[in-house]
Amino acid sequence: MPARPVRLADGEGVGVARAAEERGHDPPAQRAREHLVLGGEQHHPADEDEPVTDRRATTISGSDEMLASSPLDRAPVGRSPTAARSSTAAPSTYTSPMFIPMTPVCRRDAPGRRRPQADRSCHGGPMPESPTPPHALLSPPDQTAVAVIGAGAMGAGIAQVAAQAGHPVILVDAQPEAAERAVAGLRATFDKLVAKGKVTREDADATLARVTPHTTADMRTIPAVALVIEAVVEHLDVKRAIFRQLESAQPSTTVLATNTSSLSIDDIVGEACSGHDAALHGGTSPAMAHPERVLGLHFFNPPPLMRLVEVITGAASGADVLDAASELVRRWGKTPVRCTSTPGFIVNRVARPFYGEAQRMVAEGLADPATIDLALRGAGFRMGPFELTDLIGQDVNLAVGESVWRQTGEDPRYAPTDWQRELVREGRLGRKTGRGVFEYADGRPVDAEPDAALAEQLVGGPVQTDPVARTLAMLVNEGVDLVHRGEASAEDVDTAMTLGTNYPHGPFAWLEQIGADTVRRQLAELDELYPGGRYRPSEAL
């Protein structure tokens, strides 16, 4: 298998807030600014001395998928999905015949579906009868200190969540004054919330008093805590060094979590690195003595607003640790979903076809980007794939796709398109450069008029030219296959894709509506047109 590349994660909450404001959603945009602490800055640990030259393109936090429709841009249930369109679309009342009103029910009989785990309901919430796991992590918050390593946007946001839940928090960064700047950003956030009457001054001051900045490059100097959440740059060797220092200094009961959005938990804790990192370590580096207390807690950006947390299990992660961490996440007001340490986890893996199929249709000359965006918004997606990738950055989105593709052994299912590679080579990176799929003036798209009549004509036609059917068939196939391989439960896949990306439905909800026979037929037609394995159906379909 090719080497795992450094994985840049898409998606900045600042960009979401800006886009919402441009569409006329001022209050949500203001709410995002109140919750965001730092505008996308990611500080490097001590042994990462190369400065960040373009923080818009190199932020290492969050997920590319949260931007697909953040809670800042969610229409009420039952509202037409075109009612709050991006300004890239011409006024239209077009709604795809594939649009399905949201009906959250438990679905347990679809192909590839597993019954929910005992400690979770159908949609990830706690089962009332489930006992609380007896773990020190679940002691009263004021007795359960948390250390967050990395004072960038993600780290500061996670620190805010923990402090608001009542935990003493140590916010750690290797860069001088980085943690102090993050705390100052938190203070400014709470000042605005107090001014608007959202929180009392007493509560704001109490939350801020719980956060202590700590500057160090030596993780062994961090005081003893119950939980450490690492949120630094996505470099395997950096994370490995941090976790080995933590293990040598923290009590044996301390839970050690990484906020990685793609790196393998087993690679972080194990003896041997793979690919490029093996060369850095001469092929091996010491394994952690107690990998059972290590797991992934993948928050989505911005953490105070995004409800989803992917709880990632390594091969040696202890069941008690996973259960306790999941319960703690619930107590913080989040919804945990479980996944193995598979490339891309749930959200960044399942969502790849949302971008890839649209790009292939444009490359094939079947439709223009604005019209494809309109068709997919008509099916209930809050943003189309082209306006979305322009917002998060074509270079960043491409890096995500390249990473998943390489980590899966260059599986054709995840192969990035030459069409997007060419955009990046030409410097057409999206809003941040003024040119991407669309042209931008003063941050707003110009000359991006969709053809509503063409969108209506495409949807319901042959699957090759139907952007909705083509995308949904691949999303369903990917979700079913993830469950078939035992990486996650069907309930958690649906929960992750609706909460983490704000898709109108998860793959299994769509499967029930479309039917396995239809999905198989559509994939077979695409595979005949485009042989090579990209459209091979999951064995579970």
What residues are annotated to the active site? 261, 298, 310, 348
Residue spans of beta strands (DSSP E) within 168-278 = 169-173, 211-215, 227-230, 255-258
**Do residues 222 and 216 touch, judged by C-beta distance below 8 A?**
yes
3-class secondary-structure state, position 313? strand
The CA–CA distances, whole Å, from 2 to 275, 288, 341, 403 equal 7, 24, 17, 10
Region for residue 377 given its phi and psi (left: phi exceeds 0; alpha: psi -120 to 50; beta: otherwise) = alpha
Structure tokens at 200: 């009392």
Handedness of CA 289, 295, 298, 303 (dihedral sign): negative
Residue in 477, 343, 345 with CA at minimum distance from that of residue 408? 343
**Do residues 383 and 15 touch, judged by C-beta distance below 8 A?**
no
- Residue 278: CA count within 13 A, CB half-sphere: 9
Residue in 223, 260, 255 with CA at minimum distance from that of residue 239? 260
CA distance 204 to 189: 10
3-class secondary-structure state, position 422? helix
Residue in 169, 179, 171, 172 with CA at minimum distance from that of residue 146? 169
Burial (Cβ within 10 Å: 0-12, 13-18, ≥19) of residue 40: buried
CA distance 216 to 112: 47
- Interior CA angle at 133 toward 127 and 139, to 5°? 115
The CA–CA distances, whole Å, from 55 to 60, 274, 473 equal 9, 28, 36
CA distance 268 to 265: 5
CA distance 41 to 178: 10
CA distance 357 to 530: 12
